[in-house]
Structure 1
Amino acid sequence: MKITLTKPVTFDGNEIKEIDLDLEGLTGEDLAQAEREYLAMGGQMTSLTLSISYCQGLAARAANLPIEVTRSMSARDSNAIAMEVQLFLHGMEDQVHGKSA
C-alpha cells in the first residue's frame, strides 16, 4: 500500500514523499521486535494495537525504514500511517477502504 505524505520528510539527505507499507509482509517476529522496542523506549504494556508509538514502529518495519522516519513525519501523516497499521491488525482495512473481503 503506497501512502503519499502530505508533508515530505528528509532522512539521510533523501526527501521522502511517499512510503510503501508492506503490511502483509510483516511476521510474528516483526510484531515481537516492535513490542520490545516500544517497551525499551518506556512504553507501557497496554493494548499495543492502539498505541501510536507501537504502530509507528510496525509501519517503519513494513516500509523497511528506520523508525526515525515515521517519527519525524507530520502529526497528520504519522497518525494516518499508524491508523493503517491499526486497521490492518484488526482486519478492518477492507471495510474502511471499501474493498470486498
Structure 2
Amino acid sequence: MKISLINAIEKDGQTINELTLNLKGLTGNDLTKAESDARAMGDTSPDPLFSAKGLTVIAAKAAGMIPDDILGLSAPDFLQVKAVVSIFLYGWLLPAKTQSEIYGEQS
C-alpha cells in the first residue's frame, strides 16, 4: 500500500515523498518481534501491537525502515501511517466477506 506524505522526509540522501507499506508480506515472526520491540521501547499497554509504539514498529518493518524514521514523520503523516496499519490489523479480525470488501480480494 502506498501512502503519499504531506511532508517529504530525507533518508540516506534521498527525498521520500511516499511510503510503500508491504503489510501483507509481514509474518507472524514480524508481529511477535514488533511486540517485543514495542515493549523494549517502554510500551506497557496490554496489547502493544495496537499501541502507538507497536504500530510504529510494524509500519517501519512493512516500509523497510527503522522505527525512528516513522517517528520522525510529521504529525499528520505519522497519524496517517498509524491509522493504515491499525485498519490493516483490525481488518483481519473482521469476517472474511468484510476483508474482501476492504481489500478487494477473493477469500
TM score, norm. by length of structure 1? 0.85
Larger radius of gyration: 2
**Which residue of structure 2 aligns with residue 71 of structure 1?**
71
* Identity fraction in percent: 33
Distance 2:17 2:38 in 1: 26
Deviations 1:59-85 (A, max 9, x none): 110111122210100011011111111
Q: How far apart, CA to CA, are the structure 1 residues paired with 2:46 and 2:62?
A: 22
Conserved? CA contact 1:55–1:85, under 8 Å: yes
2:12 equivalent in structure 1: 12
Q: What does residue range 11-90 of structure 1 map to in structure 2 within 5 Å?
A: 11-90=11-90
Distance of 2:46 and 2:72 partners within structure 1? 24
Tell me the distance in 1 between the aligned counterparts of 2:54 and 2:43: 8
Aligned mates of 1:59, 1:66 — CA distance in 2: 9
CA contact (8 A) 1:55 1:82 kept: yes
Q: Which residue identity does 1:81 align to in structure 2? A: V
Counterparts of 1:96 and 1:83, CA distance in 2: 18
State how far apart, in whole Å, the 1-side matches of 2:44 and 2:88 are: 22
Could you tell me which runs of 5 or more consecutive residues in structure 2 were left unpaired when the two chains were aligned. Answer: none
Deviation at 1:41, TM superposition (A): 1.1
Query: Does the 8 A contact of 1:52 with 1:79 survive in 2?
Result: no
TM-score normalised to structure 2 length: 0.81
Structure 1 residues 96, 7: CA separation in 2 closer, same or farther (over 3 Å shift)?
A: farther
Partner Cα separation in structure 1 for residue 30 and residue 103 of structure 2: 27
* CA distance 1:19–1:96, shift in 2 (3 Å): farther
Instruction: Please give the alpha-carbon distance, in whole angstroms, between the structure 2 residues aligned to 1:19 and 1:7.
Output: 12
